[in-house]
Structure 1
Amino acid sequence: DGWNFAFQWKFAIDIEDRYNPVNFNVQPYIGNLLVRRSDKELNVRITKVEPDVTRKRFYVILETQESFPLERIDNANMQSYNLSLDVHLESQRSSVTSVRPVKNILKFPAIKPKVEEPKAAEVQPTLSPLPAQSAEGGQGQGPALPAPTDGNE
């Protein structure tokens, strides 16, 4: 019918550690990724992690796994989701890996519920009952029943 859209977020994780400098030549492992609020979890995936050595940070790009039609996206009503993840960083001086927990808030547009278009009700013709004929030829009565027998016939 139309185009569907996934949502992306790009955020920076600042890493400044004089005593244990990070090796920016090694891609960090990101685990325990969770985006949720009290009543709903949002399924996201990491699409890219870019190092910025001069600023001592990594840029992380997240994307929703589900896509949504444009007419259902309500960007006038933003909803807050809690973001949490663990970043595993390798040290520049040794092969030691340190884990840094990251927590933040992501804003996500509200998604309008699906509106099902009313289907045209199938109109079935109403049938009027046919008049029944009796043995005497009368109309409007039930079907004629056989006369009772006494069992000797």
Structure 2
Amino acid sequence: MNHFRKLAVLTLMLVGFMSHRHPIAAAEVRWTHSPEQAIQAAHSTGRLIIVSVGANWCHYCKEMDRDVWKHPAIAKIIAEEYVPLKLTDEQHQELIETMQIKGYPATLIFTQDRQLVTRMDGYISAEKLANTMRAIRLSRQRSPQSSTAR
């Protein structure tokens, strides 16, 4: 009985140790920071490109990173239907100016051929973003042009 008790205690300790060392991973968007790679991925997968534009110093950008981009529903939709591209003024200032972004954060969705589908300026909630992405999916499913693009 003593041997069984030691084994049970050891097993419980291992389970406890492993659960603390490997917490369930939070949903995360796996961003690319290369516009060229995003375009290539969009062409090869037939997906839209979702672009998050911001700056390291931007308070609302940090809030979107925390509340929106890590939201499980948003991360799931992006993983299944989009190529995610993150642009920052520290790394992509020229491109951001070309896109006529005047403030942060900004969220844009493009086709694989670089056609702007929608642009949302400022902080947007996860719910609003999810609704927008669903509406875009529905409109693309109804459009005869979108079926040939895939």
TM-score higher than 0.5 = no
- Structure with higher helix content: 2
- Structure with higher strand content: 1
RCO (CA 8 Å, sep 6+): is it higher in 1 or 2?
A: 2
- Rg comparison, structure with higher value: 1
